[in-house]
């Protein structure tokens, strides 16, 4: 796919990895819709940076845990841009919880955003792409392939995203390509100490952590490479092969 002039929606595009993805797509010539939930200031700053760099970009607020939020987001894409060529599902939550003490609320908080919203965003995007064609990239996590003890619901949700990627790729081919990316340590959590983050990086085969830019470059690769279907690409510094 030639990305120049394509309309791209990035969920969770206001900050962190999503921001890197939006910026990379902007550099490739995409027209950006940057979704956010609560990070209004960050979304506005991201859009300002994109516009300053010569990219057409707008921000749209929606709570994707609410089915009405998904409907609202795609109605805004229709209203503001009139079509959709690219979807990158980056919105997610990462919350630690003990498996034995996890509640229904804990389950819903993570699954409603990480998996259910991702599914219905894929569905809504595909309905808009089925005549013209398009491409979708789901941002998963290495935790979906190797579980994290402190994040059982998150791990389950991301394993579901990996299967969604394969299932949707099969169902929507050949007009719509669906792939995924499973990042490893690429963005330091805000509350993590620098020395702990450095320790995590040194333990990787790469011997350092990656960056949101690495994930963004992988997104561009998957969008531009028309023969790749249903793959989830690990961008993890070798984390999964340790």
Q: Which residues are catalytic?
A: 151, 158
CA–CA gap between residue 151 and residue 72 (Å, rounded): 30
């Amino acid at each position: 796919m030639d990305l120049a002039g394509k309309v791209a929606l990035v969920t969770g595009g206001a900050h962190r990895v999503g921001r890197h993805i939006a910026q990379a797509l902007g550099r490739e010539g995409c027209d950006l819709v940057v979704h956010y939930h609560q990070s209004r200031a960050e979304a506005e700053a991201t859009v300002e940076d994109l516009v300053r760099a010569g990219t057409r970009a707008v921000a749209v607020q929606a709570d994707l845990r609410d089915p009405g939020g998904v409907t609202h987001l795609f109605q805004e894409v229709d209203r503001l841009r009139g079509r959709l060529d690219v979807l990158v599902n980056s919105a997610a939550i990462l919350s630690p919880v003990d498996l034995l003490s996890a509640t229904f609320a804990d389950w819903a908080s993570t699954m409603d955003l990480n998996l259910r919203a991702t599914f219905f965003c894929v569905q809504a995007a595909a309905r808009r792409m089925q005549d013209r064609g398009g491409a979708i990239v789901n941002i998963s996590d290495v935790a979906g392939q190797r579980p994290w003890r402190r994040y059982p619901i998150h791990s389950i949700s991301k394993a579901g995203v990996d299967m969604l990627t394969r299932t949707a790729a099969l169902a929507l081919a050949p007009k719509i390509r669906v792939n995924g990316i499973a990042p490893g340590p690429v963005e330091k959590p805000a509350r993590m100490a620098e020395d702990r983050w450095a320790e995590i990086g040194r333990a990787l085969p790469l011997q350092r952590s990656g960056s949101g830019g690495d994930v963004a470059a992988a997104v561009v690769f998957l969008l531009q490479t028309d023969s790749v279907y249903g793959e989830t690409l690990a961008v993890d510094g070798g984390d999964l092969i340790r």
